[in-house]
Amino acid sequence: MSTALYEVGGDFGNWAAKVVRDGYSTVIRNVAVQYDGSDDALRELGLFGGVTAGDEPLTESVQLTLRDQQWIVGEAAFTQSARSFERTTYSRYGTDEWYALVAAALVSLYSKRSGTVALTFSLPVSQLRAGRAREIRELLAGQWQIGYDGRVLTYEILPDLIDMIPEGFGSLAYLCLSESGKRFTDRALAENRVVLFDFGGYTLDVITFDRLSMGPYNESLTTGLINVRNDVNKALKRIYNRGDVPGKVLDEVIRTRQYRHAGGKPDDVSTIVDTALVSLMKDALRVWQEELGSGADYDTVIVSGGGGPVIGPLLAPQLGHHDIRIIPEGEAHLANALGSLRHRKFKREYMQA
């Protein structure tokens, strides 16, 4: 096996795994299905290599072999399978599908040769509280032999090279640490008392930090962009007398606030989208007012997650705080993973100093 050391940052969310290394990132939808070896359906889908919007990759699709079982992971698995294994709770750790997702992440990042992996990834606060960090470390540690693209790749994940950070901390590290992890780009932020709203696909996580340590309030609410999608879908079906709107179309409608029906001109559907977003925003505002004292004791508010750039501009005026930082589109969905990698580098530099 190669002696190369690969540093990886990850955010294994409910909707997708976001994993990064230096110079490369990938998003893999959290769906894995066993595959019987027939490629007819795959030829029809033509999805391997990633699903794109224009020239920008959105989600990857991977075919691999793990423990003598073939798997399809990612967008192709979701599209091909009538019964997906998309996970909406963190009970997924340790399932066969979860192992396949981790394997897909490894071969997507390092597809040419084997090596040792130093993995830092975000873990929900609820799992840290439940004491699952040790269990999850044991699940990950060891040798991973994965068949991919005509070769067998071996990755070694050593227990002392696995680091789990609280979910949301990656976004904070992304904003205050340099890409190399060698210095603070915003030391004041690192020393601040911070409230972080992480708007994910299935959950809204509200996390507080004080000088980069966990603060007194850290909770996950069972609400997210999936609820916004569902509300927008229902409204478009009712108004345009149509069937369900495809997921990718819904995402575009939410992003642009425009909808093109039956080849016609784009209609402005801002009212529909904003109404759906307000429902999600109310949950954030309730926590802000009832649990966080409307931010009186906090210096900075960060809005992150895949839904952050969409809901942030609506949320910010309602919060009424002097320092609100919305991680922009194109960065927000990867901020936790990128920050995890920067934290890994920072920790390495600190330990070697």
Query: Do 218 and 116 share a structural domain?
Result: no
Helix axes 335-352, 169-176, angle to 10 degrees: 70
Residue 182 in any domain: the answer is no
Distance, in Å, from the CA atom of 264 to the CA atom of 283, rounded to the nearest integer, reads 36
Query: Do 215 and 323 share a structural domain?
Result: yes
The string of pLDDT tens digits covering residues 151-185 is 999 999 999 999 999 989 999 999 999 999 999 99
Query: Do 74 and 192 share a structural domain?
Result: no
Three-class DSSP category at 46: coil
Query: Do 194 and 108 share a structural domain?
Result: no
Residue 172 in any domain: the answer is no
pTM (two decimals): 0.87
Exposure pattern of 4-41 as b/e (b: 16+ CB <10 Å)?
Answer: eebbbbbbbbbbbbbbbbeeebbbbbbbbbebeeeeee
pLDDT tens string for the chain (353 positions)?
567 899 999 998 878 899 999 999 999 988 888 887 665 555 444 444 444 443 344 678 899 999 999 999 988 877 765 444 444 444 478 889 999 999 999 999 999 999 999 999 998 888 888 888 999 999 999 999 999 999 999 999 999 999 999 989 999 999 999 999 999 999 999 999 999 999 988 888 999 999 999 999 999 887 788 889 899 999 999 999 999 998 778 888 998 999 999 888 999 999 999 999 888 899 899 999 999 999 999 999 999 998 899 899 999 999 999 999 999 988 999 999 999 999 999 988 887 65
Query: What does the pLDDT read at residue 353?
Result: 57
| Long-range contacts at 291-297 (CB < 8 A, ≥ 24 apart) | 291/206, 291/217, 291/219, 292/195, 292/206, 292/208, 292/217, 294/319, 294/320, 295/195, 295/319, 295/320, 295/321, 297/193
Query: Do 257 and 203 share a structural domain?
Result: yes
Query: Do 242 and 158 share a structural domain?
Result: no
Query: What does the pLDDT read at residue 1?
Result: 59
Q: Among 114, 134, 166, which residue terminates a domain?
A: 166
Residue 178 in any domain: the answer is no
Query: Do 224 and 144 share a structural domain?
Result: no
Cβ pair 74, 29 in contact under 8 A: yes
Could you list the residue range(s) of the whole structural domain that residue 55 is in?
5-166
Residue 180 in any domain: the answer is no
Query: Do 225 and 159 share a structural domain?
Result: no
Residue 59 in any domain: the answer is yes
Give backbone dihedrals phi and psi of 152, rounded to 5 degrees, phi first: -105, 120
Residue 303 in any domain: the answer is yes
Q: What is the DSSP letter of 15?
A: S
Query: Do 346 and 198 share a structural domain?
Result: yes
Return the residue matching tokens 């992003």.
255
Residue 173 in any domain: the answer is no
- Which tokens sit at 322? 């002097």
User: What is the domain count for the chain?
Assistant: 2
Query: Do 254 and 287 share a structural domain?
Result: yes
Query: What does the pLDDT read at residue 348?
Result: 87
Query: Do 94 and 204 share a structural domain?
Result: no
Residue 263 in any domain: the answer is yes
- CATH number assigned to the domain comprising residue 254: 3.30.420.40
Query: Do 32 and 80 share a structural domain?
Result: yes
The string of pLDDT tens digits covering residues 187-222 is 999 999 999 999 988 888 999 999 999 999 999 887
The string of pLDDT tens digits covering residues 85-115 is 444 444 478 889 999 999 999 999 999 999 9
Query: What does the pLDDT read at residue 40?
Result: 54
Q: Among 111, 136, 166, which residue terminates a domain?
A: 166
Q: Among 101, 135, 166, which residue terminates a domain?
A: 166
Distance, in Å, from the CA atom of 20 to the CA atom of 139, rounded to the nearest integer, reads 20
